[in-house]
């Protein structure tokens, strides 16, 4: 499983989520992650149809297909539970 993280330096929710994701990625090394800045990666923003609301977290299965999308802040507990339940996708 892989998560694509979309955020920006001016986004309060993105700033809040950054250390949460850092902890999750350290605790679950099997999770692959990639970050895209909203202002610096317009091609990825368009490709993944990211709207005006960020942060956005897109979860991809082993084939690289999107199976879930989360918009906005979430708790570490909620994200860890979701990742552990879906890690083999």
Active-site residue among 3, 14, 31, 56?
14
14 catalytic residue (yes or no): yes
Return the DSSP state at 87: T
Mode of pairing for the β-strands spanning 32-37 and 2-7 = parallel
List of domains in the chain: 2-86 (3.40.30.10)
Please confirm whether the linkage preceding 77 is cis (ω < 30° from 0): no
11 catalytic residue (yes or no): yes
The CA distance from 1 to 35, in Å, is: 15
- pLDDT tens digits for 35-79? 999 999 999 999 999 999 999 999 999 999 999 999 999 999 999
Contact 14, 54 (CB under 8 A): yes
The CA distance from 77 to 65, in Å, is: 24
What's the whole-model pTM score? 0.94
The dihedral through the CA atoms of 73, 74, 80, 85 has a sign that is: negative
- pLDDT tens digits for 7-26? 999 999 999 999 999 999 99
């Amino acid at each position: 499983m892989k998560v694509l993280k979309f955020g920006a330096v001016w986004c309060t929710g993105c700033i809040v989520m950054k250390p949460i994701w850092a902890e999750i990625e350290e605790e679950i090394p099997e999770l692959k992650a990639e970050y895209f800045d909203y202002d610096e990666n317009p091609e990825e923003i368009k490709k993944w149809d990211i709207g005006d609301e960020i942060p956005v977290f897109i979860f991809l299965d082993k084939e690289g297909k999107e199976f879930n999308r989360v918009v906005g802040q979430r708790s570490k507990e909620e994200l860890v539970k979701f990742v552990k339940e879906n890690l083999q996708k």
